[in-house]
């Protein structure tokens, strides 16, 4: 057996099981070894029944006596099975709800090992729904509990984990002796052993620390390697320091806000210095980030470079393209568009224009990072709504230019700690001021049977005044369709009442979506019913009402984004959050939305409501998943790992030295193979 062997080489794992394992990201024996437990059950000691304590989960062994099946549990309509478990010291009641079938499995006189948490019912202790098994087969010790998927049981997972133990000694250590020493870490074999099968708490903590360190080390090495190295700084030439951007700024129909102006000044300083720009712009929805990006692109062109901007959705990319190309046309600047759904002939033309330099500005979706997109001399790379993209996509885009200035824009406020990890040494500009004349959007939560009617009466008046309306419904799957209103259902009701109603959703053809969006922009549609495809970026100033159906299904940050679609023009705008049911969380969210329109405040409240776990969740920020490391909890480890990663890359920027090969392999494995471009 080798680390690289497919998991099917293990006894008892056939093709079917292998599929289940693949869902957990486990394909090889090595993957299995790195699938660590989330929690543990302390089954080291068998507790005498008389010593069971309320709230203390424990393992106990008892003989089953007096089984009483039948009866319905109050209100729930489920069948209850009660029994008494007895050992030398006493008895305790064991209860299973909704489990009449167990009467066939458990018999009077059986000796069973139970594992569960005693609780008081009136004045007697009982254990509800414990795990149980025959006493003579009971697993004892500190048992790892692994994340599972259907088709794999905990018992099976533990068996396989034991089977591969002899291979721990073959796992490469990605850290040098020196690093291990300096950071007081344990060896990798010891760490792996004690995370799967800890002897005691101390060993476990040491082991976990080591593995968390490794995960951060790999992540940080990858992120740092993806940044521009000092040598690359030398390569490029800087943009012209000739104030050429002013011509464009003066052509805008409005003066820049103070915050936009500050941001532009910072960008210009970057662009005209001899280091490439590496800047993040954070600005709430509607704060005018696009104009700032456009000024930077104008500057690039005036300095003889090409610029590219990538947006997360086709609709958004197209909207940017339409606005930007119209304004750039007036200056004789040629703007191209690229998306996955374009015809081959159209696409070829754009690609030609890019490589011969006749197209100076490119706007598009992630199609712009495909390998066949080659630029003549790319000097500026912009990503809009950055959090939607993965790290590897960001790297690919940057690598399109020999020496590209990077500008990243996001409306999602990022907790500072996470920003450090994601963007490292990026400079940050904050647009914390809205264009003048914006009135805060009046926000109301509506519940109760006539909420919807009241809301749509209001909508009717707004339409009569010539305004347009968004109605957003959550994405739901079939099984939930019973309690949430689907876009189709909402659409039918509204279309019966308002003539110019259209629907847009993710599975529609691109051409259809574009057509509807174009007509909505042109004011030919009054009500647009949509699933969350309109979440980011869409700009129709005449739209004054945002109705969110089943608002309880959206998170705060999302609601804030949605609300940002209205209040973009001169008119008072409204956001109605229609909720069904009255969960506490939904109520709290509603209150926050009614009280504030400040994205940073809302993000903070979101953090409090959901806890750091979800916010720091790597996926939504485009970071690869980590198994043990938790950015919220392990900041100190992260900092140490950063320092090490930095030291290693300073000494060996491309990780070419033999001792760095194991680290390099792991980085490429975590970040995807595009990573190897940078190493």
In angstroms, give the least distance from the CB of 246 to ligand ADP.
Answer: 15
The separation between CA 650 and the C-alpha centre of its own chain, rounded to angstroms, equals 31
Does the protein bind ligand ADP through residue 285 (CB under 6 A)? yes
Residues 197-236 that bind Mg ion (CB under 5 A): none
DSSP string for 402-438: SS-EEEEEESS---HHHHHHHHTT-EEEEE--PPTTP
Residues 408-467 that bind ligand ADP (CB under 6 A): 411, 435
Helix (H) or strand (E) holding 165: none
Q: Who's near 522: CB < 8 A, 6+ residues apart?
A: none
Among 254, 331, 348, 440, binds ligand ADP (CB under 6 A): 254
Among 196, 210, 289, 642, binds ligand ADP (CB under 6 A): 289
> How many residues make contact with ligand ADP (CB under 6 A)?
17
Phi and psi dihedrals of 573, rounded to 5? -120, 165
Q: Which is nearer to ligand ADP, 62 or 286 (CB)?
A: 286
The separation between CA 160 and the C-alpha centre of its own chain, rounded to angstroms, equals 31
Q: Who's near 184: CB < 8 A, 6+ residues apart?
A: none
Q: What's the per-residue H, E or C state across 37-68? A: CCEEEEECCECCHHHCCCCCCEEEEEEEEEEE
**C-alpha span between 33 and 171 (Å, rounded):** 9
Q: Which is nearer to ligand ADP, 257 or 473 (CB)?
A: 257
DSSP string for 495-534: HHH-SSEEEE-TTS-HHHHHHHHHHHHTT--SEEEESGGG
Q: Which is nearer to ligand ADP, 354 or 534 (CB)?
A: 534
Among 537, 564, 590, 599, binds Mg ion (CB under 5 A): 537
Does the protein bind ligand ADP through residue 287 (CB under 6 A)? yes
In angstroms, give the least distance from the CB of 282 to ligand ADP.
Answer: 10
Among 256, 420, 442, 451, binds ligand ADP (CB under 6 A): 256
In angstroms, give the least distance from the CB of 539 to Mg ion.
Answer: 8
**C-alpha span between 9 and 359 (Å, rounded):** 54
Does the protein bind ligand ADP through residue 257 (CB under 6 A)? yes
Q: Which is nearer to ligand ADP, 385 or 549 (CB)?
A: 385
Q: Which residues pair with 128 in a beta bridge?
A: 95
In angstroms, give the least distance from the CB of 284 to ligand ADP.
Answer: 7
Q: Which residues pair with 84 in a beta bridge?
A: 65, 93
| Residue whose entry in the numeric block shows the structure tokens 């969210």 | 589
Among 116, 144, 236, 286, binds ligand ADP (CB under 6 A): 286
Q: Which is nearer to ligand ADP, 312 or 401 (CB)?
A: 312
| Paired tokens of 512 | 């259809």
Does the protein bind ligand ADP through residue 632 (CB under 6 A)? no
Q: Who's near 511: CB < 8 A, 6+ residues apart?
A: 341
In angstroms, give the least distance from the CB of 384 to ligand ADP.
Answer: 7
In angstroms, give the least distance from the CB of 292 to ligand ADP.
Answer: 8
Which among ligand ADP, Mg ion, none contacts residue 622 (Cβ within 5 to 8 A by kind)?
none
Residues 484-543 that bind ligand ADP (CB under 6 A): 539, 541
Instruction: Write out the residues near Mg ion by the rule CB under 5 A.
Output: 537
Instruction: Write out the residues near ligand ADP by the rule CB under 6 A.
Output: 254, 256-257, 260, 283, 285-291, 411, 435, 539, 541, 568
């Amino acid at each position: 057996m080798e680390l690289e062997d497919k998991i099917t080489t293990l006894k008892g794992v056939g093709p079917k099981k292998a599929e289940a394992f693949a869902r957990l990201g486990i394909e090889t024996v090595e993957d299995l070894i790195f699938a660590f437990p989330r929690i543990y059950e302390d089954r080291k000691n068998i507790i005498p029944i008389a010593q069971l304590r309320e709230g203390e989960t424990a393992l106990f062994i008892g003989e089953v006596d007096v089984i009483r099946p039948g009866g319905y549990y109050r209100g729930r309509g489920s069948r209850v099975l009660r029994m008494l478990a007895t050992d030398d010291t006493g008895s305790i009641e064991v209860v299973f709800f909704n489990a009449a079938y167990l009467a066939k499995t458990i018999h009077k006189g059986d000796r069973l090992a139970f594992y569960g948490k005693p609780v008081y019912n009136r004045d007697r202790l009982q254990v509800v729904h414990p795990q149980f098994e025959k006493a003579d087969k009971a697993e004892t010790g500190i048992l790892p509990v692994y994340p599972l998927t259907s088709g794999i049981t905990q018992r099976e997972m533990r068996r396989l984990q034991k089977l591969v133990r002899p291979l721990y000694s073959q796992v490469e250590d990605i850290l040098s002796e020196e690093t291990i020493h300096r950071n007081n870490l344990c060896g990798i074999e010891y760490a792996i052993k004690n995370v799967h099968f800890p002897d005691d708490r101390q060993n476990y903590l040491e082991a976990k620390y080591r593995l968390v360190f490794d995960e951060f080390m790999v992540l940080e090495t990858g992120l740092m390697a993806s940044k521009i190295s000092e040598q690359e700084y030398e390569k490029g030439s800087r943009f012209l320091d000739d104030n050429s951007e002013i011509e464009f700024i003066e052509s805008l129909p409005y003066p820049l806000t103070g915050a936009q102006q500050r941001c532009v000044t910072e960008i210009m300083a970057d662009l005209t210095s001899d280091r490439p720009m590496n800047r993040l712009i954070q600005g709430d929805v509607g704060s005018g980030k696009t104009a700032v990006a456009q000024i930077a692109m104008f500057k690039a062109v005036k300095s003889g470079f090409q610029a590219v901007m990538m947006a997360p959705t086709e609709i958004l990319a197209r909207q940017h393209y339409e606005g930007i190309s119209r304004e750039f046309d007036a200056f004789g600047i040629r703007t191209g568009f690229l998306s996955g759904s374009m015809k081959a002939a159209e696409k070829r033309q754009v690609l030609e224009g890019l490589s011969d330099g006749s197209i100076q500005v490119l706007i598009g979706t992630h199609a712009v990072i495909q390998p066949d997109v080659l630029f003549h001399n790319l000097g500026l790379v912009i990503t809009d709504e950055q959090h939607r993209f993965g790290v590897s996509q960001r790297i690919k885009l940057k690598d399109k230019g020999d020496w590209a200035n990077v500008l990243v824009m996001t409306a999602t406020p990022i907790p500072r700690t996470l920003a450090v990890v994601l963007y490292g040494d990026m400079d940050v500009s904050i647009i914390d001021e809205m264009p003048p004349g914006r009135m805060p959007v009046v926000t109301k939560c509506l519940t109760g049977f006539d909420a919807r009617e009241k809301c749509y009466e209001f909508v009717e008046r707004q339409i009569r005044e010539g305004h347009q309306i968004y109605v957003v419904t959550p994405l739901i799957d079939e099984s939930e369709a019973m309690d949430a209103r689907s876009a189709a259902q909402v659409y039918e009701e509204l279309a019966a009442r308002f003539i110019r109603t259209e629907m847009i959703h993710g599975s529609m053809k691109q051409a259809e979506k574009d057509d509807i969006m174009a007509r909505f922009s042109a004011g030919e549609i009054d009500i647009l019913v949509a699933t969350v495809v309109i979440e980011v970026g869409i700009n129709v100033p005449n739209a004054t009402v945002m109705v969110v159906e089943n608002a309880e299904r959206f998170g705060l940050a999302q609601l804030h984004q949605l609300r940002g679609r209205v209040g973009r023009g001169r008119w008072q705008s409204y956001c109605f959050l229609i909720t069904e049911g009255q969960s506490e969380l939904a109520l709290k969210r509603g209150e926050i939305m009614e009280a504030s329109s400040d994205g940073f405040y809302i993000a903070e409240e979101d953090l409090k409501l959901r806890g750091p776990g979800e916010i720091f969740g790597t996926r939504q920020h485009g970071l690869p998943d980590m198994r043990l490391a938790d950015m919220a909890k392990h900041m100190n480890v992260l900092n140490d790992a950063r320092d090490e990663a930095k030291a290693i890359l300073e000494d060996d920027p491309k990780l070419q030295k033999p001792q760095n090969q194991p680290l390099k392999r792991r980085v490429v494995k975590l970040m995807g193979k595009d990573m190897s471009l940078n190493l």
